[in-house]
Structure 1
């Protein structure tokens, strides 16, 4: 019941945000692009207004390798240095993209019961970029900033496989 409530809350929030984010949307995304690569690697994280400055080291929680299964609407995140799963810490579960293709919602299976709503910026075969508001440097008492998290298809030596 709790998971269902979280999904409905996320959908409601996404519906409210969709008109705002669709105006900012610069590219038409296609969810099938997530299946174009078995793995995606975070290549850059930057703060709104400063795309030339990579701040991955300040936001390690959003950095890693990800796997997406659009057929089952499942995702799982992995550490980029070891390939170990982040599943037990909220790094795996269900996802959906809103009908207007501007909002990406994550509903983790485990970890703190919450829904993560992200704005899709770019989604194609070469790039997957989302943005979301978080506390600066992920310190809860800091002001919120919008970060952009850029991913590219990963072809490196670490091979991952989904746990669920």
Structure 2
């Protein structure tokens, strides 16, 4: 009888502690969507192809390079040119975004432009870095084979000030 009491006490204690440990671990390993709001602007700092993280290929993928603004309260985004600060909204550079419940997928739904949605794998998201990856044609030439590119952003602190148009 005493063995059962000890067993049940241990089982109860393990059951009470296990959810606490599981919750503490699960929140630390996933990006937090609120990190988008930690900087008013994010700048593309690097683009690289999977397997070659030391080679920056921003010049071959200009469509993914720019300054971006994210509003996690409204789930809105807008992209801007780095040289002028003008909006890319009319070319599909603005709309709604969402992060899936497992916090692994970042989906853009542009208000305008040729794409209905763009699905990206969320690699890093914190207050110092935002990195996503997605498959695109090599060098953005439609007839080339697809490659996975990684697009790295950091909070932008330069002189260009952007203003959301929508």
**Which blocks of at least 5 consecutive residues in structure 2 are unaligned?**
1-28
Equivalenced residues, count = 138
What are the superposed Cα offsets for residues 77-125 of structure 1, whole Å, 9 maximum, x if unpaired?
Answer: 0001110000000000000000110000000001114110000000000
Structure 2 residue 100 is the aligned partner of structure 1 residue 66: no
Taking structure 2 as the reference length, what is the TM-score of the superposition?
0.82
Cα distance, 1:142 vs structure 2: 0.1
Q: What is the CA–CA distance in structure 2 between the aligned matches of 1:80 and 1:41, rounded to whole Å? A: 8
Q: Which residue of 1 aligns with 2:38?
A: 36
RMSD of Structure 2 on Structure 1 (CA): 0.6
Q: What is the CA–CA distance in structure 1 between the aligned matches of 2:94 and 2:32, rounded to whole Å? A: 21
Structure 2 residue 87 is the aligned partner of structure 1 residue 79: no
Q: Which residue of 2 aligns with 1:137?
A: 139
Q: Which residue of 1 aligns with 2:125?
A: 123
Q: What is the CA–CA distance in structure 2 between the aligned matches of 1:42 and 1:75, rounded to whole Å? A: 15
Q: Which residue of 1 aligns with 2:58?
A: 56
Q: Which residue of 2 aligns with 1:23?
A: none
**Which blocks of at least 5 consecutive residues in structure 1 are unaligned?**
1-26
Q: Which residue of 2 aligns with 1:158?
A: 160
Structure of higher CA gyration radius: 2
Q: What is the CA–CA distance in structure 2 between the aligned matches of 1:39 and 1:58, rounded to whole Å? A: 23
